Structure 1
């Protein structure tokens, strides 16, 4: 289908491929022209290297060279030497960024001033600088590199200096009156004035020392003492908290007496439950034993008949896999990380133990100083869904409130002030009310980070960490996620205590196997006709979510549907909260059968009877694809996912192939061809970067201006 030799990823359909300017021939290079004295040029150039425009962004470096930079440096422009020369200089890997400079400014300037070709590379922990050109050019470039490497940073023991700036120095602007601009316009140049207080003394191997009296005023910071004082202050703060009870589990004999083989067989049959301590100790051991899974509600909540009655009212017959293993872990007071695909009962897995945790505390509710349970969710829709789930269970007058941006702030504050046991919130609104003094999170003893991977993707990590600083450290923490990226692992390692990881299925990214996945490769301009064709062939009981990449696209598509007399609703971040809630209500009740959405609806939303998902715009990463597809085929039902793929989506083709093959789905030949082309283009770009070459350009996949399918 695609016949281009190679494609380029930075050209859109409506934009012609940019033409790459041909480099000038080597013989056309001209030496820098100096309209002012040579010494002034050197001083101005040195000020650029050593002053405010340093290549390392102006930050003092912790390293220090030995050779004592800051001496006088002279650079010659390119001469007419015809003899080519080259040299390779090894440099520490931590100096690569400094040689390159911010945005490549430092190496670019050295190339211009020396006339040599300078390439910087870093591999296997060792940096190298390759210099080529005439002998004089190579020597000038080598000297510039040496000066840069040998200049020491501020605050070093020998009072060192930066490249082109030593000791106590200042720059004084002067203005030339002979500027070619005329009319009184003056062009600033800089005169370098070195303070007489700096002195250089040679020690041993030719190093320099320009230490000043200011060095004697530095105080040594006793970090051990500071850390000890901080720990002591933290202990004093949290010592005032009410006592905390976390263990409520009474393991029945029939559960405790299960043989290891029976436990392993049950876990394998329950969608391959895998459970283990997330972080091993120094000996690689798992620590305390992990409780066996439960197979009935009575085995978990037999001591709470009123909660059992609530479960019967909801029509549940047996626990889901994540609940079977998660309930014993949480009721035993352990921190837990639950990893499972959406629609597997994760919400109820942490919610019912939260009820028991609230009721089981020895301190009366009126004396706890605030709520006990905090559930953080990434989106308003997910937070409201969790609140709705809480409201289904009337357990001992436990009250909850949902705090989210876009809702009635004053009403939310009034509910909190009246007293609640559970707060369900998005990070932004929670931090807002904490700063206002409305919410006191120091009373939280049971913390849930729901859809943690999604919260990190949305940039909430700083806000999450800010909240966690004010929650007592001996709390019980639960984290749920559909994937296990490095960010989630890092968060768990920082804020959880020896957590037990329970995951259902596999840690590898995989779409729900009850969903049939269809991939169609087409041009951007053909999408609208194809979606109209799909809608016209929908069955009377079909419900579909159509995912768009942008809010404007969602609005445009919904407008086209309305003009075509097709009933639909839309949901995205720019819609008012009331409109978003109405859209969800309409699709759930069947008022409309089409919901057009952005990725705000791709996680956590529980619309059970969605039969189809259409990726009108293919998502930017494969994780989002998995979550979109997971909106259908929920709770054991079957579903269908249809995805439109254009050539601009070639970067995710290889990962899409893995998802399709894992689920035994058909992979179109066009997708395999797309993946191969992208891999070839990536390899070619990497090779060009390593070799410093420019490489040819053109079309989306490198095929010149003729972009063909």
Structure 2
């Protein structure tokens, strides 16, 4: 009924001369009409007009039913709706065949692609197998393997111990290396450059701070410059670097700008930045795109960037991208990149998810493991704080904490003690985060308190100490944190963690994930209370 106290029903009764009774059920409402046929017909008409907009109707002249669809279906309609529909089996073979046909049609007009740009120096080619093995053992025990699943294993290129051995045919690369002051390649660079310049896909497993960025960046420059299709004839960028965080993306873009090879233009695309400005830069024409998967996927889905011209792809810090849940975006992005591209994947760890990603998107890759750890552990908050105060003035300290609130609290405590400090975490505005990082780089502050946001790709060359104020949630993240001193001079690391997990289990876990010889120096501080 409508209206309080059934006023609407009384009004209908007075207008029609019929008596109206309403019975409310759990799923349907029933209206029974009493009186002469004329009175019932008039009441029915008035009710129809009243309830036309509410989806109710009268059945058999006396019952008002709800708007459930089945209540006004015919018997045949109800039987048809309740009948079990037998669907034909899915023909997966046909689906796979159609997928192959679609991809063939999609990529049939691809321009030619060149991948081989390496000529082995004589001083490298004359190395014996024993000499190569000894060199790899002496350089952090590098392990190199061919992951080709079918056929005979390929020859793994010998490592280059000097820049000239790798880039003897590329004087502009050599000029840039000399200009920035590098004297010797890192172990991962020595082994990666011959593999990548030979046109092979590569998986580089090494802790953060071992020079993986240049390991893929310099061959990428050469790859783009050597393509049969010139820059002005390409439909879009030639190189794509996918990376998990905006901070790492900005670091990689800075490296691109530092080397200025052949005037190639790079752009950094990440969430939280000026989306319209990024779109305008893409439309103006760029050669190298460094992007986080989320923002790039946004531009891709809105058809604001053309990825079909990409011939050199880098999945940087692949394990972290998977940890952050970017796999769906990565899969969508790779759908629009030509399948015969060259791909380089870097990671600090080699978990199951990264292996699955590599198997899906790299073709017969080679893999190189390299790294080292020198660890010291501090087990008490008070002593951790004391250690910070004993650091000498020229030292530069990076403190990792587990929560944003702890980062703010610790930096505030240090500020109250007159210590110059900055904090870096996800709740700060992007401009504040960039300023904090720049202050740390320029030594305006010598202590940076950060969450794991800064554990990847933090390019500060003179970090002397890394404190793990809180032990990370997983060992992989620990490897990334301690890798920050790989760019500095002091391998002393101090850490606090939950001793319930056991020191031995921490050692074993680190050994398990790193898969190389590890020197662990454990220092414990306890205060009796």
TM over 0.5: yes
Does structure 2 retain, via aligned residues, the 8 Å contact 1:610–1:639?
no
Provide the C-alpha distance between the structure 1 equivalents of 2:469 and 2:403, rounded to a whole number of angstroms: 11
Deviations along 1:585-636, whole A, 9 cap, x unmatched? Answer: 111111111111101011211222222222222212222222222222x247
Counterpart of 1:277 in structure 2 is: 146
Provide the C-alpha distance between the structure 2 equivalents of 1:657 and 1:273, rounded to a whole number of angstroms: 20
Cα deviation for residue 419 of structure 1 reads 0.8
Provide the C-alpha distance between the structure 2 equivalents of 1:295 and 1:642, rounded to a whole number of angstroms: 32
Counterpart of 2:464 in structure 1 is: 611
Q: 1:545 to 1:667 in 2, by over 3 A?
A: closer
* Alignment match of 1:342 (pick from 174, 185, 208): 208
Deviations along 1:184-217, whole A, 9 cap, x unmatched? Answer: xxxxxxxxxxxx99xxxxxxxxxxxxxx9746x4
Cα deviation for residue 534 of structure 1 reads 3.1
Cα deviation for residue 174 of structure 1 reads 8.6
Cα deviation for residue 346 of structure 1 reads 0.8
Cα deviation for residue 279 of structure 1 reads 4.5
Provide the C-alpha distance between the structure 2 equivalents of 1:588 and 1:574, rounded to a whole number of angstroms: 21
Does structure 2 retain, via aligned residues, the 8 Å contact 1:621–1:652?
no
Provide the C-alpha distance between the structure 1 equivalents of 2:103 and 2:464, rounded to a whole number of angstroms: 52
Cα deviation for residue 341 of structure 1 reads 1.7
Provide the C-alpha distance between the structure 1 equivalents of 2:246 and 2:367, rounded to a whole number of angstroms: 27
* Alignment match of 1:518 (pick from 367, 377, 380): 377
Q: Does 1:459 align with 2:306?
A: no
Q: 1:668 to 1:544 in 2, by over 3 A?
A: closer
Counterpart of 1:480 in structure 2 is: 346
Does structure 1 retain, via aligned residues, the 8 Å contact 2:162–2:184?
yes
* Alignment match of 1:367 (pick from 228, 233, 244): 233
Q: Does 1:581 align with 2:434?
A: yes
Provide the C-alpha distance between the structure 2 equivalents of 1:645 and 1:220, rounded to a whole number of angstroms: 55
DSSP-derived class of the 1:639 partner = coil
Q: Which 10-residue stretch deviates more, 583-592 or 245-254?
A: 245-254
Does structure 2 retain, via aligned residues, the 8 Å contact 1:337–1:480?
yes
Counterpart of 1:289 in structure 2 is: 155
Say what the alpha-carbon RMSD is for the aligned residues: 2.6
Does structure 1 retain, via aligned residues, the 8 Å contact 2:208–2:479?
no
Counterpart of 2:399 in structure 1 is: 546
Provide the C-alpha distance between the structure 1 equivalents of 2:324 and 2:142, rounded to a whole number of angstroms: 29
Counterpart of 1:571 in structure 2 is: 424
Provide the C-alpha distance between the structure 1 equivalents of 2:525 and 2:181, rounded to a whole number of angstroms: 46
Q: Does 1:333 align with 2:192?
A: no
Counterpart of 1:209 in structure 2 is: none
Counterpart of 2:271 in structure 1 is: 405
* Alignment match of 1:222 (pick from 91, 94, 101): 91
Does structure 1 retain, via aligned residues, the 8 Å contact 2:266–2:287?
yes
Cα deviation for residue 646 of structure 1 reads 4.3
Q: 1:573 to 1:286 in 2, by over 3 A?
A: farther
Does structure 1 retain, via aligned residues, the 8 Å contact 2:203–2:344?
yes
Q: Which 10-residue stretch deviates more, 317-326 or 383-392?
A: 317-326
Does structure 2 retain, via aligned residues, the 8 Å contact 1:294–1:328?
yes
5+ residue gaps in structure 1? 1-171, 176-195, 198-211, 506-510, 671-707
Cα deviation for residue 287 of structure 1 reads 2.6
Cα deviation for residue 269 of structure 1 reads 2.2
Q: 1:214 to 1:319 in 2, by over 3 A?
A: same
Counterpart of 1:242 in structure 2 is: 111
* Count of matched residue pairs: 447
Provide the C-alpha distance between the structure 2 equivalents of 1:531 and 1:325, rounded to a whole number of angstroms: 38
Q: Which 10-residue stretch deviates more, 483-492 or 621-630?
A: 621-630
Does structure 2 retain, via aligned residues, the 8 Å contact 1:442–1:470?
yes
- After TM superposition, the score normalised by the length of structure 2 is 0.79
* Alignment match of 1:641 (pick from 474, 479, 493): 493
Provide the C-alpha distance between the structure 2 equivalents of 1:300 and 1:263, rounded to a whole number of angstroms: 16
- After TM superposition, the score normalised by the length of structure 1 is 0.60
Provide the C-alpha distance between the structure 2 equivalents of 1:437 and 1:600, rounded to a whole number of angstroms: 30
Q: Which has the higher helix share?
A: 2
Does structure 1 retain, via aligned residues, the 8 Å contact 2:206–2:369?
yes
Q: For 1:117-136, what aligned pairs fall within 5 Å after superposition?
A: none
Counterpart of 2:296 in structure 1 is: 430
Does structure 1 retain, via aligned residues, the 8 Å contact 2:461–2:488?
no
Q: For 1:628-707, what aligned pairs fall within 5 Å after superposition?
A: 628-632=481-485, 634-635=486-487, 637-646=489-498, 650-651=500-501, 653-658=503-508, 659=510, 662-666=518-522
Q: 1:225 to 1:657 in 2, by over 3 A?
A: closer
Cα deviation for residue 564 of structure 1 reads 3.0
Counterpart of 2:473 in structure 1 is: 620
Provide the C-alpha distance between the structure 1 equivalents of 2:525 and 2:175, rounded to a whole number of angstroms: 54
